[in-house]
Amino acid sequence: MNFANMMQQAQKMQKKLQEAQAELAQMEIPGEAGNGAVKVICNGQGKFKSIKLSAQAINPDNPSTVDQDTIEMLEDMISQAMLQATEKASAKTEAAMKNITGGISIPGLF
């Protein structure tokens, strides 16, 4: 195999990797707890997307006392915290990988 063929194969592999990453980013993978009282969605890359809470998750003894505004406020606060944490984790991962690779960007590594 000559160098030109190797480069062509590497370019094809890089394109496939980019397509796979894009596909994973678009996926919606659900998880739930408490018989559906708490539901979350992550993408195929494991990044948090959203959370839905039921009144039973907030006050299981008397869910009728929990109003929709309270549920939405808690969902928003949890979502903000989760997004902030995942952004920080991604930044730390990227910094660690750059340290390992000497600053060379390797597509699909981070």
The reply to whether 108 falls in a domain is no
pLDDT in tens, 39-65: 999 999 889 999 999 999 999 999 999
pLDDT in tens, the chain (110 residues): 688 888 888 889 989 989 999 999 999 999 999 999 999 999 998 899 999 999 999 999 999 999 999 999 999 999 999 999 999 998 998 888 888 877 676 665 55
The reply to whether 33 falls in a domain is yes
Q: Tokens 């195999």: give the residue.
A: 1
The reply to whether 37 falls in a domain is yes
The reply to whether 49 falls in a domain is yes
pTM to 2 decimal places:
0.73
Cβ-contact 38, 54 below 8 angstroms: yes
Cβ-contact 55, 64 below 8 angstroms: yes
**What does the longest C-alpha to C-alpha distance in the chain come to?**
72
Contacts of 59 (CB under 8 A, 6+ apart): 65, 66
DSSP 46-93: S-EEEEEE-HHHH-TT-GGG--HHHHHHHHHHHHHHHHHHHHHHHHHH
User: How many domains is the chain partitioned into structurally?
Assistant: 1
The reply to whether 94 falls in a domain is no
CATH number at 81 reads 3.30.1310
The reply to whether 79 falls in a domain is yes
The reply to whether 52 falls in a domain is yes
Q: Nearest 5 degrees, angle CA 61-CA 81-CA 75?
A: 40
